[in-house]
Amino acid sequence: MRFPRTAPALACALSMLGSALTGATPARAAGDEPVIAPAVLASFAEHATTDFWVRMSGKADLAPAAKAKSRTARGQDVVDRLHANADRAQEPLRRLLKAEGVKSDAFWVTNAVYVENASEALAKKIAKLPGVEEIRAPATYTIPEPVRSEPSGAAAATGLPWGVSNINADDVWERTGRRGEDIVIANIDSGVQYDHPALVRNYRGNNGDGTFTHDYNWFDPLGECGSDAPCDLNSHGTHTMGTMAGDDGQGNRIGVAPGVRWMAGKGCSSDTCSERALVAASQWMLAPTDLSGAHPDVSKRPHIVNNSWGAPLTTQPFMEDIQLAWAASGIMGVWSNGNDGPGCQTSGTPGGRIINYAVGAYDVDNKIASFSSRGPGQDGEIKPNISAPGVSVRSSVPGGGYAFYDGTSMAAPHVAGAVALLWSARPEYARDIEGTRLLLDLSAIDTDDTTCGGTAADNAVYGEGRLDALALVDAGTNGTATLAGTVTDAATGKPVQGATVTVTGPLTRTSTLGAEGAYDYALIAGEYHVKAEAFGYQTTTAAVTLSKDDSATRDIALPPTTRIDLTGTVADGSGLGRGLAAEITADDGKGHTWSAESDPGTGAYRLPLLPSLAYTVTIRSTEPGYDPAVRQVTMGETGGRLDVGLTVSLACVARGYEVVRDGSTQPFDGTAKPKGWTVTDIDPRIPNYAYQPGWVFTDAGKRGNHTGGKGGFAIVDSLHSGKGHIQDTYLTSPSYNLTGRTTATLEFAHDLKPAVNSTTGVDLSVDGGRTWKTVWSAKGFPGAPGPAVHVVPLAAANGQADVKVRLHYRGQLSGWWAVDDLFVGDRACRPAAS
């Protein structure tokens, strides 16, 4: 199929079709209108017709294809399922478009239809069809403009390119005798000069007798080459292909895998990549056709596809269902990560998406290139996945020559070529995309740079590290295995949080363990030593041999170093004196803690600690109603003792205690303001402000009394009486004479539903309302959904004769605050008389 390039007015550059093709947007509910993207509507505002994509709901189940016995059968199963799904889902849409006489292209690889020159009326008709998920504008991607380098030193050598040597590809050739034979590699790019001296020998369309067959080997949906033969009007695609497959047979071996055969799809023009062409080329890779677009043959699909193009990650995702279809068919896609560095969060798409394998670029000194995009990528994913040579990379360019280019576009083909070497030497991985990605990760040379996040072994600058093709093939030969276990305290059997586990062998891995004390490593099979160490414990080592596909468990119990006991009792300190169940935690101030629990009957505890250290000891009752206590303890060479009495908390909910009150309670049981109470509503001075009531004593909003009290209550109902206006309102009590009071307290039952823009508070005045001081406040969430009781000590009111309290609420469309049974007076928590 060939079609014209998308007109610039319709391109809506980087308004990604992405989720329109991936199924990333949730399916709409029955009766819901699908979304017509704003970019489409904007185009209709300026043009009578426009182009757009229509994405259909429903995805084919491709999982069964993995069970196919042959590569051809696997590919055919994927294509058949995609075809059946698209034919079923798109039938009403295709029928409508035919009746309307509108040109379109229906794609089965992504269950989407590209519609040309359609009217807004037709778009609205389409939106009402069953199964239509979204209508989106076309997008334009870019291939980075080739940046020529001025190499020096080792990078300038005209023999074996430095990148090929750097990743040890030549060592793979020598040791295995394999250079990518039996593997077909492809790129979706600007095209390829097929008869370039470094590429013509390995072009799959080369018949070996001076003639060429371009059927099944070349796809040009843009029709830019002017003939049926491959061309490259840019140089980008010829350069990337040379890095993967270049070899002129005269000693000018520029490719990582010079034994592969290659094919190509043209998705890009001089500097842009039409989304329509990219989708068409991606679909063709699953089932290549002859030059007329007929007679598809899945057996001729490539093993690996390099993609050195993209857009900023901030745009919508791109074609993820296509990449999933490639993987289901056994095709591995490799992606450049972008050239927008050195800032963090510059990873591009599609490479920055979780499901794709993206490549960063480094130079001849193994230093990350300044332009190489950094992660993290989608949802915090570490990107790039790996890094490869991408500075002063010498490869083929149109006209039969060679040039040095920079870019992650140049790095990605190194990885694609390395995968070809692996699959050629270890064919069992040619059907295992996940296993291949794991081998790439494990065999990469760890390169520490955590400036954009991650760890020394896996960070958002280098990813898993620098590509090593020889280590990759060796890892494939040895196979992979997993090693897991738990590090525990040999004395207690409890997990040791903060323990460090280091495994050394074919790989070295180190991690600090969390609260569960568990570790879990994916490793290359072989012999390993495992070392576990933690502060306060004796270092312990173990040996383990991992076989290919092994899954071994090695738990380690760490013997504690010398400990001395801190002992004592935790008891009620407010009158009952009984033992309490509590948690006792000692902290040495250096990140190390030790904990023990007291006996719930006697309160006795024993906490083993390290000698000759100072600790902050925190005691928290596990029985409700007690305030925690903090003590400082210095341990010598022998044991120590610490007895603690915990006091009941202000709420007085501890077992065996009761509240004794002596004062005044306002039940707010009437429908009017209680005698002596005042409501003050502050006018916010907003023009045309319709004044609204603040505190009221009727339930106009029908909230019900959820404070825990009974009958009526006072309430500010911002969502009801506020009617969208700001409310700034005070409810002020009459004067209380607290002369002779020694435990003055405010207590109230309430139900508070706040919002981020609401403020709730209690103010106290001891001079009859002349001056006020806030004694409690709650701003925004989480609030206190009733029934809830709040107790506020009023120490400043003890012995005062003219005391007032006021409740303050300020908010706009911000919930409500209901208050009941407000008490002011002496309040004590004492052992219950019974």
DSSP labels for 412-469? HHHHHHHHHHHHHH-GGGGG-HHHHHHHHHHHSB-----TTSB-SSSBTTTBT-B--H
Question: What is the pLDDT at residue 310?
Answer: 87
Lowest mean pLDDT among 239-248, 473-482, 625-634, 779-788: 779-788
Residue type, 87: D
Output the CATH code of domain 479-553.
Answer: 2.60.40.10
Spatial distance between the Cα atoms of 375 and 458, rounded to a whole number of angstroms: 11
Residue 25: pLDDT band with limits 50, 70, 90: very low
Residue with token string 């084919």: 60
Q: Which two tokens stand for residue 463?
A: 């990813």
Helix (H) or strand (E) holding 61: none
Summarize pLDDT for 545-577 with one digit per residue, the tens.
999 999 999 999 999 999 999 999 999 999 999
In the chain, residues under CATH classification 3.40.50.200 are 160-475
pLDDT in tens, 140-199: 788 877 667 776 666 666 689 999 999 999 999 999 999 999 999 999 999 999 999 999
What is this structure's pTM? 0.72
Q: Which residues pair with 119 in a beta bridge?
A: 49
> Could you give the CA distance from residue 369 to residue 49 in angstroms, rounded to a whole number?
45
Q: Which of 196, 214, 236, 303 is catalytic?
A: 236
Q: Does 813 have pLDDT greater than 90?
A: no
Q: What are phi and psi of 670, to 5 degrees?
A: -85, 180
Which residue has better confidence, 145 or 338? 338
Amino acid letter, 119 = S
> At 811, which amino acid appears?
G
On the question of pLDDT at 226 being above 90, the answer is no
pLDDT given for residue 18 in this prediction: 32
For residue 604, give every residue at least 6 positions away whose Cβ sits within 8 Å of its Cβ, in sequence order, or none.
Answer: 567, 568, 569, 579, 598
Closest C-alpha to 167, from 419, 438, 423: 419
Could you tell me which residue, 186 or 353, shows the higher pLDDT? 186
**Confidence band of 228 (pLDDT split at 50, 70, 90):** very high
Share of the chain above pLDDT 90, in %: 81
CA–CA gap between residue 579 and residue 598 (Å, rounded)? 9
Per-residue model confidence (pLDDT) at position 443: 96
> Topology of 160-475 in CATH?
Rossmann fold (3.40.50)
Catalytic (active site) residue 83: no
pLDDT of 816 strictly over 90: yes
Query: Residue 270's pLDDT is what?
Result: 76
- pLDDT at 802 > cutoff 90: yes
- Given pLDDT bands bounded at 50, 70 and 90, which one contains residue 22? very low
**What's the rounded mean pLDDT across residues 236-262?**
95
Per-residue DSSP letter, 173: H
- The DSSP call for residue 6 is P
Indicate the class that CATH gives domain 19-138: alpha beta
Q: What pLDDT does residue 726 have?
A: 82
Specify the pLDDT at position 317. 56
Residue closest to 683 by CA, chosen among 722, 728, 732: 728
Q: What are phi and psi of 659, to 5 degrees?
A: -85, 130
Catalytic site residue 409? yes
Q: Is the pLDDT of residue 333 over 60?
A: yes
- More reliable by pLDDT, 117 or 1: 117
Residue 780: which pLDDT band, with cuts at 50, 70 and 90?
A: low
* Architecture field, domain 657-831: Sandwich (2.60)
pLDDT at 493: 95
| Cβ pair 336, 189 in contact under 8 A | no
Q: Is the pLDDT of residue 392 over 80?
A: yes
Determine which of 111-115, 225-229, 519-523 has the lowest per-residue pLDDT on average.
225-229
Task: Answer yes or no: are the C-beta atoms of 421 and 257 closer than 8 Å.
Answer: yes
Mean pLDDT of 209-215: 97
pLDDT of residue 27: 40
CATH numeric code, 564-646? 2.60.40.10
Q: How far is CA 85 from the centre of its chain?
A: 30
pLDDT value at residue 616? 98
* Active-site residue (options: 409, 574, 598, 721): 409
Cβ–Cβ under 8 Å, residues 504 and 525: no
Phi/psi of residue 556, nearest 5 degrees: -130, 125
Length of the chain counted residue by residue? 834
pLDDT value, residue 833 = 85
Tell me, yes or no, if 271 is annotated catalytic.
no
Which residues, 6 or more positions from 94, have their beta carbon under 8 angstroms from its beta carbon?
Answer: 104, 106, 113
Greatest Cα pair distance, the chain, in angstroms, is 115
Is the pLDDT at 316 greater than 70? The verdict is no
The SS3 assignment for 768 reads: coil
CATH 2.60.40.10 domain range(s) in the chain: 479-553, 564-646
Residue 725 has pLDDT above 80, yes or no: no
